[in-house]
Structure formats: structure tokens, C-alpha cells
Structure 1
């Protein structure tokens, strides 16, 4: 697929890889997300100047953030060698460690843990979420949760965010309670309503649990309750529709897969 991009970049076409467009903002980030980057030459062909390589999309994500989520250690290292800024934060205040945790990217987390400065593991985003909180939203991240929990201490399952979410309650809400050892579970938590057909465009969480925030006009944008907290900053021009439990998108021109209430949702979570 990159061959087509290279053709457009040919001197006769003079396409500019730095042009802004699409949900990832720039060609390099889109190529990283799609898994099309295989070598340093691929990055060079899509614009590797430091200014270009650190481009951020509407949500503040750089190519390095996306590579951390994708979990390809070779691409991650190539981007760093090309000058990608490991200290960039996105619009939610998420670091490259947060994005690696979201994707369950254990190899990337090991790379970051081997750095001299590991204090970034204890840095929260703007709502007080550690990388550990983000990792606890899917059982597929079991190895990443184990790695991050080892660094967080014995009380890791009960570290609170600003909204009083803990790794335990986050895991339960996202139907991933098996991530939490039985001896660390404090009570029966409710599981959020599951919008089974949708993926969050802010964190790639699929499915979306709890309240979903939806916009559809020229293109569709869907957010989970967490990523929706910054929607007025990332997409101020969009008027999002709030879809709580039991509701679906009726006007979207796609086939809607049946949504499933995985478990009873606690009343305390009705606003999320």
C-alpha cells in the first residue's frame, strides 16, 4: 500500500506528506497506525524531519504515541532515532507510556522501563489516570497490567483517579475483572453497558462501555466516556450526541451490530 503513497510523492505529483488531514492528522501517523512502516526508509519517504516526525493530530497524538499503542518495538526505536520526542503529551495529558499501556504493548513498556528515567510510569494524565488505569480496560492487556502493577506496589488495585476510579473498578466496568487477583477485589462492581459495534477514536477501545459520545456528519467520531472529557478541546466544532445505556445510533449509514448488556450496570455509573 505504501507504493501508492510513494507514487504520489514522486516529483511529478509533488504531494506534500506534511499536509494535515484525516483522523491521524498526517501521513506518517496514519502509516504507523496501519502497520505499513517497515523500515527507516519508509519514514524518510513520508517526511522524517524533526518538525514532521513530531506532528500531532487533533487529539495531540504523535506518530510515536501511535507506535507505542501498536506495539512494534522496531518502528518505535526507528522513530526515536529519527528525533521523535518521547516527552510529548497529547490533549488528555497522556504520555507515550499511557499509549503503550492502552495497547498492552509489553515490549514497548520494557523499552521504557529500561530507560534511566522511569518516573514517567507514575505520571498521570489530566484526569489522574496512570498508565496502569488505562491498561486495565481489557483482559488482552494482562501482561501489561502485571508489569505495571509490579512497579506500583501492593496497593495498586486501589489507586484512585480524580473521579475515584481504581484499576479494580475500571477492570470491572469494562468486563475485565479477571485482571484483578481475587485477594485484591474489594466488592462486586457493575459492568458498563456495552456498545458492541463501536470503537473509541480516542483510545481505540473496542467495544465502548458506558456512555458513548457520537458525532456523524461529514465523518463519524465516537468517544468512550474517558476520551469524551476533552472532546470540546479536540473537536470544538462538533456537537456530540450522548448515547447512554440501551441507546444506539439510528442515523448512521452502517449495519448496526446488536448491542449487549454484558452485566448489570451499577447505578453509580449511569453518568459515565
Structure 2
């Protein structure tokens, strides 16, 4: 005979509840027609489990119920790998009677009279188990080992509630399993937002993918998905949302009138700013306070973001917010002196160089203007002064560290500008300060300019320029 008793289950399930003693019941049936059977029940972890009848006698062809008790109060189920099991041992009892101590002694002595009739795995089920898996487990294999059993004790509403926590946790496989077992992928939070909003806010790319593939729907009036992605500097999320939802709008505003590019600017996220610009976002858009993204970047002192926004719009630096302030004014208010040159002083310095305002140049430089700063065309103050023939301005700029060989966006140096405009004295001064003549500016512009009347009286200038131009 293979066994003496038969269990009514192949696995024993306990509905786990935090902080409570948890029990479950199963039955064993004596398969012998004429002989009583003695039964011994044990677990691998007696520190956690006990039985109402660890030893018992079952009459012939009769059944008996047994209660497994998880007697230790705990906030988490005692999950083990592999799971704990109940071992059912039996022996025939011809006399049909025995005291508890006799049975203990009987089963303590191994031998052919002892049968190992069953090994019943113990599973923990219910929402508290799933919550524990969501909050405490990180290994996919461990989660999968316990999850399918745990959710068997959960209704659809419970699964939907657990789904929200799983989405935030970032465990994509757990999210998929809960959805497959009845969790509502289109459930909303207290603000009416979709689950995908929660996933994007938490930055969980894999979970976002699962929700999209599971048919999660969005409401653009409350699901500001691109704003959430911008706030955590996640261009990858913005890209996948654009592909998945045709209704997603880069120009959408939140409750403060801010677009995703406003959000990115306030945090200084240049990657997101560039992405927004690449898909058609207007860098001069105003929020509810009439602030451009540049206002917000300047207010927070984000140098790279300011540079990025200025590349996209030269007008934005002059825009006034609701309080009548420019981005420069906000930078000054908040002490971000590293932005002064970009937002105002650079313009003022270039203007002073153009009109030969020497005192203005000195004042700008004293306030922190970059003597080698470039405008939207790559011209430095020295380019402007040279082109206009402002020799006094050129001298001041040179004395304050202006670099004579910087190239503009078309590859021209200040010398090239002076040559083209026919300013001999400026050209001589730049050469005296070490400028190089073998530049693109002389190849294209200088050959013509050097033949003009204004240079014919200065052979000392023409000869070296022509010589170096030929070498170039």
C-alpha cells in the first residue's frame, strides 16, 4: 500500500492578515477498511506554525479535520524559498487506542512502520501578502514564486486597489499579473488621473509600457503626462508617450498655464528643453504669470537652460512677465550673476563697443560682462568694435583680455571685420596684438579689401596680409 491516508487538498492556503493569528483547515481521510491509523503532522518552521492536533487517530474509512495556526503576530507573512510544507506521517494502530505521549514516541522512532503519506505546501494568500510583495521584494523570480498564489485570495476590487501600489513600485511583471487576474487598468486615482500618470510620475518606463500595451486610457484634461516626464528629466518617457497617444499635446498647459518646456526650464533640464523645441514647442510661450521658459530658468539660475533657450529665441530675453520684469531682472533679484552677461550685459557691452562708448564698456566689464561673449551671430564685442572702426573701444577690449583670434559663426576674426570695413588703424592694432592673417576672413573678404584705396598707403600692412593670405 502506498499510503494510509489521503488529504483533501494538494496545498494548504492561509489567508494572511497583518497583526492577527491566522488559521486554515484541511481534512485527512483514513483509506484503511479495518484498521485505525495514527497521524503525525509537522512543519519545517515550528516557530511559526502549530496544529490543533499534532498527533491523532483516525478510525477506518473515516475523516478528521485539522487546523494549522500561524500563531506569531506579524506585519509580514513568513515567506520562505522554498515554501514551508506540512509533512503527514502515518502508521497503523491495531489496538485503535494510544495516549498522546505514546504517539509521540511511536513517531520518533523511524522504521518501516512509519509511512510518509503526504507533503502539503503552505501558501499565503490575500491582499496583505500582495502588498508585502509590492513593498519588500525586488527579485522577479521571488515575486513570481509567491504572487500567483497570493492573488487567489483577492477579489477584483482588491486587485485594482493593489494595482495602484504596484504601478508606483515599478514592478512591471507584478503590474501585468494583477491586470491579467482582473485588476482594472483604467481605474482612476482621487484626482481622476489614470494609472499611467502614476507610472510616469514615478519614472517607471517598463510599467508605462505594460499599461500602454494593456490599453490604459488617458484624459488630457487631468493627465498631464508630458509635464510629469519633464519634471523628472525623462525624454525617453516623453518619446514613448508621443508614439502611444496621438492626443498628447506638447503645447498643453497645466493648471498654472505651464507647458512641459516651462517645467523643464524651471528645473534646468536642457535635454527635455531641446526635445520640446524639436517637436514644435514655442520657446516664447507664456504661463499664467506671463513668464516665458527663460524667465523660469533665469529665476533658478540654470545657465545651460538659459543658453539653450536663448539659442531658440533672441526675443525672449526682452519679454516682460506680469510684474513687468525681464529674465535678467529675475536673475539679479535671485543673485545669479553667472547669467548677467547672457541676459543683458552682453547686449549692453556689444552696443557700447558699436558706438565707441568706452565708459560703457568699462562699466559692463566691471559688472561682470564677458569680454569674449558672443551674440547670436558669434560676434564678440571686439568683432563689433573692429567692424565699426572704434579704435578706442578696441584698445579697451584688448586691455581687458579680448581674444583677437576668435571666429564668428562664419569663420571670421575681428581682423577680417576691420579689413572688410577698411579700418586700417584697427587692423594694424590687431596685428600688433598677435592676430593671425591666414583666416577664412582674409581669403574671402580680405583679398578685395586689401586692394582698396585705404590700404594702398599702408604697404607695411598689405605685404604681411597678402603674404599670409597666399600661404593660407
TM-score by length of 1: 0.54
- 2:190 pairs with 1:21: yes
Q: Per-residue deviation at 1:111?
A: 2.2
Contact 1:104/1:135, CA 8 A, preserved across alignment: yes
The aligned residue for residue 324 of structure 2 is 164
- Choose from 137, 154, 158 the match for 2:299: 137
In the TM superposition, what are the counterparts of 1:25-64 in structure 2 within 5 Å?
A: 25-38=193-206, 41-44=209-212, 48-49=216-217, 52=218, 54=220, 56=222, 62-64=224-226
Among 258, 271, 289, the residue aligned to 1:127:
289
The reply on whether 1:80 has 2:242 as its aligned counterpart is: yes
Return the index of the structure with the highest Cα Rg.
2
TM-superposed deviation, 1:132: 0.8
Residue matched to 1:107: 271
Q: Corresponding residue for 2:228?
A: 66
Q: Indicate if the aligned counterparts of 1:19 and 1:26 stay in contact, CA closer than 8 A.
A: yes
For 1:211-222, list aligned pairs within 5 A: none
Give the number of equivalent residue pairs: 176
- TM score, norm. by length of structure 2: 0.33
Equivalent residue number for residue 3 of structure 1: 171
Distance 1:33 1:177, change over 3 A: farther
What residue in structure 1 maps to residue 310 of structure 2?
Answer: 149
| SS in structure 1 of the partner of residue 183 of structure 2 | coil
Q: Which has the bigger relative contact order, CA under 8 A and spacing at least 6?
A: 1
* Structure 1 segments unaligned to the other structure (5+ residues): 188-272
Give the 3-state SS of the residue equivalent to 1:35 in structure 2.
Answer: coil
Say which structure is richer in strand.
Answer: 2
Per the alignment, do residues 151 and 46 of structure 1 end up closer, same or farther by CA in structure 2, a change over 3 Å counting? same
- 1:178 equivalent to 2:338? Answer yes
Which residue pairs with 2:388 in the alignment? Answer: none
> 1:53 offset after TM fit, Å?
6.1
Alpha-carbon distance, 1:134 to partner: 1.4
Residue ranges of structure 2 left out of the alignment (5+ in a row): 1-168, 349-362, 364-472
SS of the residue 1:121 aligns to: coil
More helix by share: 2
Q: What do you get for the CA RMSD once the two structures are aligned?
A: 3.3
Cα separation, partners in 2 of 1:10 and 1:135, compared to 1, 3 Å? same
Q: How does 1:250-269 map to 2 (within 5 A)?
A: none
